[in-house]
Structure 1
Amino acid sequence: MKTPRQLVTVSHSYVVTLNRRLANEMARVGAGRWEVKAIAPRAFRGDLSPLKLQREPGEASQVEAVRALFTRSAHAFLYGPELRAMLSGSVSLVHAWEEPYVLAGAEVALLTPRHIPLVFSTAQNLPKRYPPPFAQIEPLVVARSAGWVAFGETVKQNLLSRPGYAQRPSRAIPMGVDVELFRPDRALGAAFLRELGWELEGPPVVGYLGRFVTEKGVERLRDALEPLKTPWRALFVGGGPLEGSLRAWGERYPSRVRVITGVQHDRVPRALNAMDVLCAPSQTVPRWKEQFGRMLAEGFACGVPVLGSDSGEIPHTMGDAGRVLPEADTAAWTAALAELLESPARRRELSAQGRERATRHFAWSAVAREHLDFFESVLG
């Protein structure tokens, strides 16, 4: 039997157990071919609050903790001196889930021995000009790498135009979704409706999941709902600066609109299963366009029919499992909503297509296989 290859994957996000799902799934699907070691900070300050390394029994990957310095900034933090030894020895490939222009990305690139291939992951879907020293770091890391993973097709297309990227193998791979947690369960959805004071037999529920901000399109969806002659109810789940105006609008439709905030991630499947249609009306603005649309993949996994705008990565996330609409065309959104709300058969068709796409394309096992397949192609 061949000795398994040794994969070391490094990320400051691995301080949180949920973010090690990729590392753990790579260890599971690669069992016998790969052994996976996940390098995580012992603690990370981050933007919101201090985080200490979380460990869970039964993780498939080997989790190793290292010190991290200056962690108030994801751009400027560094790993401690223990990292060097973990990137050498019998390691077959190093994977850095750190952007190639940040200091930690440069650190991993410099500490990885030259004979060991380095692959980094990136989510930059907009052309940017970085100030020093980040502008100098990016080409250094790209030149040192043996390949790179783009979290989406728009990320890949954006970066292929930057110096050095086109000279390295690359692959667009989406983020994953837990298709066991996110699954069709109408009983779960019915219970959530009752908590809202609604009955299952009422008009179809148009849903939104995400931040209440202009770029996510909550105002576009609100404006599309108003002229609908087809009976509807609307459920907005999330939070953000537009909450007040959204609630004020909802007061005009007290029996038809619910605005819910503070929903924990493990309760999101309940909300999704209460929806008959999920809308992702994201709006492109000068410094932002949709990077992935996690709510789309989670909606697909729950078997919810999906309408999405043509902002950023959404058309690639949707594939042929949902309907893509012009982001600025309110009338098109109104017409599409009317069509779906009036056709249970079409909703059932989209539900089945979405679930199939989620299990085939976004399940963590599928995402992990894509990563390992790319790593193996880099190794030759």
Structure 2
Amino acid sequence: MDTKTDEYYRQERREVEALIPEDAVKILDVGCGEGILGRILLEKGVREVTGIEVNPAACAVARKNLTGVICGDIEEMELDFDEGYFDCIILADILEHLKDPLSGLKKLRRHLSASGTVVASIPNVRYWGIINMLTEGHWKYQDHGILDKTHLRFFTRKEIQTLFEGAGFKIKDTGANIDPRYYKLEDISSGELSFGRVSLKGLTTEEVQDLFVVQYLIRAANVRQTPGQQSPHVPDKIDAGKTEKRKIAIVRGANLNKWEMQNYEPLAERFDITAYTTTQTCFDISRIGLPVVKLPFQSQGLLLHMQGLEEQLADKDLVFSADITYQFSAQAVEAKKRYGCKVVCLEWENIPFNYEEYEAVRSIKKTVREGSDHFIAVTERAKEALIIEGVPAERIDVIPMGIDLGRFRPVEKDVEKDRERTGLTKEDLVVLFIGRMVWEKGVYDFVHAAAGILCDNSMNGFPVRFVMVGKGPELQGLRERATSLGISGRITFIEEYPYHDMHKLHNIADVFVLPSISTKTWQEQFGMVLIESMACGKPVISTLSGSIPEVVGDAGILVQPDDHFSLRDAMKKLIKDNDLRKYLGDNALKRAQSEFDSQKTAEKVRAVFEKVMSRKTEYDVTGRT
């Protein structure tokens, strides 16, 4: 008897949606419920979604949402579709309800294209709560969850793999819905775990995580594989005599962006590079010149867990992750332990022991510090922070970020037109800020300093205009502050501006300002906008915050952070002195060309990659070179 509530059949299942290939046009959703997920897919441009549903009431609703619905039990029916008809088959919370899931998978496989994909979600019976229940002598069925009273079959991760291999599939990605308590564990790397009357020792980090997985999310490809073949999770051996490109993974979580990737795109001629991000990204990645894979994820921020990442890294020679504080960097180290890849970690953080008051972050940082083969620090301060935390200096190279100097360069052509498009005239003396509209970027200091200049009678002869570009939580407050100060007519806010046109903004400016302020957990880690402006030959004003002095050098004026009076005086000095602007602008251009060329950065990164891949470590897999 079906005891499910109506809400059970109305789930969107966004985590399942994230696994569906973007090029799928014909999809079969087994156990479609009321067709909510299928409706979302159709709205996104999928041509056809056919549903199968055993509940008659849910079927009636699904017919309004999908292109077709079959009402009945998948194990009792023969499908009237051509072989290979569907591009993708969805089995969200289905296999555990079948009497014979292996036969069910084989039946469905006949109607999946040769390059098709199966997406499935399956409960994990190895979950710590189930083990704890067993030690207390119970096996309590429930209305929902892992021990749903309608479940006929139970799976562990290994049994899921066996099931799919037996049906002729190769698992490509394994994600998970994880119990939030996992992220509160004090030391994941200790190999010990206790709950109730259970005490476990000698666990790998993978096994610890597995005990907190509530449900696995599977993406499998339609390929034939006999039991004697190699497991899909073990990397193929690499023949040293072959000349294939080494495989590099760049892992950046939700923070993948074009301005960093321009430093690695030149390496694509030498290496086979793939960038990994999440299904929801913080930045526009449409113009990144590298293959990009989007993975579903759990949690946010530092604890962001990229589902199935370790398996994606199985065939990689080197993983280039970012920052020791991120969970996905610990996942890279786990992939190293499983598959023998090398791990290089890029480090921006310049505050030693930052966020280590949180147990989960402290454990992640320890894992990454000890498990990474090498580190690339973007500044000397980032290197010093690593050394203070215990990383040997010989495992760190300092390589600053670079930019495309072919794009970021002084240009006079079309500057007048670009100014007009921004509401400026050729006579205006433009002071520019670009960055996130957050307090720590000193955005209120910028507005207050602008007001100080515009209200100064001695500055009346200078046609100064202020431009602020960016978005963030303080944007509306800044607009209101400018209005209350009576300067809204002399300050322009631009919320959106594409990165591929950012050089045009820098070239319309006369002075660039980045008035960053340090906080307990953040100080300016580099300042990409500074080197972009410098490469366009602009004098810069910034603050003595974090790594800014390393970047600016003698190319600008640095003032105390959180001090709009000093900032105002520095602005006035450059506004009034054309010769000083030219002198500092020339120095800025020379420094950018010498220190911040993305081509030079790429070559330095290449040298580190090859140095690291030439080493042998305890995790090397036989056959890797």
TM class by smaller structure? 0.7 to 0.9
Larger radius of gyration: 2
Q: 2:549 aligns with which of 294, 308, 315?
A: 315
Cα pair 2:309 2:331 within 8 Å, conserved:
no
Partners of 1:217 and 1:3 in 2: CA distance: 51
Change (3 A) 1:40 1:245: closer
Matched, 1:213 2:438: yes
1:109 aligns with 333
SS class of match (1:211)? coil
Deviation of the 1:236 alpha carbon: 1.5
Match of 1:300 among 534, 539, 542: 534
| SS class of match (2:323) | coil
- CA offsets, 1:15-35, max 9 Å, x none? 96835433322345xxxxxx3
Q: For 1:177, which of 403, 408, 413 is the aligned residue?
A: 403
User: How much does 1:326 deviate?
Assistant: 1.3
Q: Does 1:187 align with 2:421?
A: no
- Structure 1, unmatched stretches of 5+, are 29-34
- Give, in whole Å, the separation in 1 of the partners of 2:320 and 2:419: 43
Q: Which moved more, 1:276-285 or 1:140-149?
A: 140-149
Conservation of the 8 A alpha-carbon contact between 2:479 and 2:488:
no
- C-alpha deviations, 1:103-153, integer Å up to 9, x for none? 432332233369764322122222320644442333233223332111322
Write the distance in 2 (CA, Å) between the matches of 1:116 and 1:242: 43
Deviation (angstroms), 1:277? 0.5
Q: Distance in 1 between matches of 2:287 and 2:482?
A: 42
Q: Which whole-Å CA distance do the structure 2 matches of 1:326 and 1:15 have between them? A: 29
Structure 2 counterpart of 1:38, one-letter code: I
Q: Which residue of 1 aligns with 2:250?
A: 10
Contact 1:188 1:274 in 2 (8 A): no
- Kindly indicate whether the alpha-carbon contact (under 8 Å) linking 2:253 and 2:306 is maintained by their aligned counterparts in 1: no
1:321 & 1:135 partners in 2: Cα distance? 38
Shift of 1:307: 0.6
TM-score (norm 1): 0.81
Of the three residues 70, 79, 87, the one matched with 2:308 is 79
Aligned partner of residue 354 in structure 1, secondary structure: helix
Report what 1:236 is aligned to: 468
1:241 aligned counterpart, secondary structure: coil
Query: What one-letter code is carried by the residue in structure 2 that aligns with 1:372?
Result: R
Describe the shift of the 1:25–1:14 C-alpha distance in structure 2 as closer, same or farther (beyond 3 A): farther
> 2:319 touches 2:332 (CA, 8 Å); kept in 1?
no
Structure 2 portions without partners, runs of 5+: 1-241, 616-625
Matched with 2:506 is: 272
The alpha-carbon deviation at position 39 of structure 1 amounts to 3.0
Deviates most, 258-267 or 289-298: 258-267
Identity %: 23
How well do the aligned residues superpose, as a CA RMSD in angstroms? Answer: 3.2
What is the Cα deviation at residue 358 of structure 1? 1.9
Asked if structure 2 preserves the Cα contact closer than 8 Å seen for 1:189 and 1:275, the reply is no
1:40 aligns with 275
Q: Is the 8 A contact 2:348 2:526 kept in 1?
A: no
CA-CA distance at 1:316 after TM superposition: 1.1
How many residues are treated as equivalent by the alignment?
A: 358
Once the two structures are TM-superposed, the CA of residue 249 in structure 1 deviates from its matched residue by 4.4
Q: Distance in 2 between matches of 1:69 and 1:4?
A: 30
User: 2-side partners of 1:333 and 1:64: how far apart?
Assistant: 41
1:31 matched to which residue of 2? none
Deviations 1:37-62 (A, max 9, x none): 22334x7223669x9x9697xx5x7x
Where does 1:221-370 land on structure 2 (aligned, <5 Å)?
Answer: 221-228=446-453, 229-230=458-459, 231=462, 232-251=464-483, 252-253=486-487, 255-370=489-604
C-alpha contact 1:15 1:54 (8 A) present in aligned 2: no
Structure 1 CA distance, aligned partners of 2:382 and 2:447?
30
User: C-alpha separation between the residues in 1 aligned to 2:263 and 2:254?
Assistant: 10
Structure 2 residue identity aligned to 1:339: K
- TM-score, normalized by length of structure 2? 0.51
User: Which has the higher relative contact order, 1 or 2, with Cα contacts under 8 A spaced 6 or more apart?
Assistant: 1
Q: Is the 8 A contact 2:379 2:398 kept in 1?
A: yes
Are residues 336 and 8 of structure 1, via their aligned partners in 2, closer, same or farther at CA, if it must alter by over 3 Å?
A: same
Partner Cα separation in structure 2 for residue 81 and residue 210 of structure 1: 34
C-alpha distance in structure 2 between counterparts of 1:17 and 1:283, whole Å: 24
Asked if 1 retains the 8 angstrom alpha-carbon contact of 2:431 and 2:467, the reply is yes
Question: CA 1:377 to 1:317, structure 2 compared with 1: closer, same or farther past 3 Å?
Answer: same
